[in-house]
Amino acid sequence: MTTETASSQGVRLVGQHDLAGRGDGMQVMRHGDALYVGHAGSTGAGTSILDVSAPDRPQLVAQWDAPANTHTHKVQIADGLLLVNHERFPYRPKKPLGPHSAGVAIYRVDDPFHLRQIGFWSSGGKGVHRIVWEGGRYAHMSGVPEGFTDRIWMTVDLADPERPVLAASWWWPGQWTAGGETVDWPDGHRVAAHHGLTEGAYTYLGYDDANLVVLDTSEPTRPREVSRLRWEGGATHTCLPLTDRGLLVVTDEQQHDGPHGEERRIHLIDIADPSAPRYLRTLPAPTGPFDDLPQRYGPHNLHENRAHSYRSNRLVFATYFSAGLRVYDLSDPQQPREVAHWVSEAPAGSAVPQANDLFVDEHCLIWVTDRGTGGVFCLEPLPDLADLMAEAAS
> Domain with 330 in it: what CATH number?
2.130.10.10
Which residues, 6 or more positions from 332, have their beta carbon under 8 angstroms from its beta carbon? Answer: none
Q: What is the pLDDT of residue 1?
A: 61
**Span 168-212, pLDDT tens digits:** 999 999 999 999 999 999 999 999 999 999 999 999 999 999 999
**Span 2-49, pLDDT tens digits:** 788 999 999 999 999 999 999 999 999 999 999 999 999 999 999 999
Number of independent structural domains in the chain: 1
- pLDDT of 244 strictly over 90: yes
Model pTM score: 0.97
Which residue segment(s) compose the domain that 372 sits in?
A: 5-392
- pLDDT of 289 strictly over 70: yes
**Over residues 274-293, mean pLDDT:** 97
Q: What is the pLDDT of residue 81?
A: 98
Which residues, 6 or more positions from 312, have their beta carbon under 8 angstroms from its beta carbon? Answer: 305, 389, 392, 393, 394
Q: What is the pLDDT of residue 71?
A: 98
Share of the chain above pLDDT 90, in %: 97
* Pairing label, strands 59-65, 70-71: unpaired
Dist CA 149 CA 329 (whole Å) = 38
- pLDDT of 53 strictly over 80: yes
Residue 339 pLDDT grade (very low, low, confident, very high; cuts 50, 70, 90): very high
**Span 104-131, pLDDT tens digits:** 999 999 999 999 999 999 999 999 999 9
Dist CA 76 CA 109 (whole Å) = 12
- pLDDT of 276 strictly over 90: yes
CB atoms within 10 A of CB 34: 21
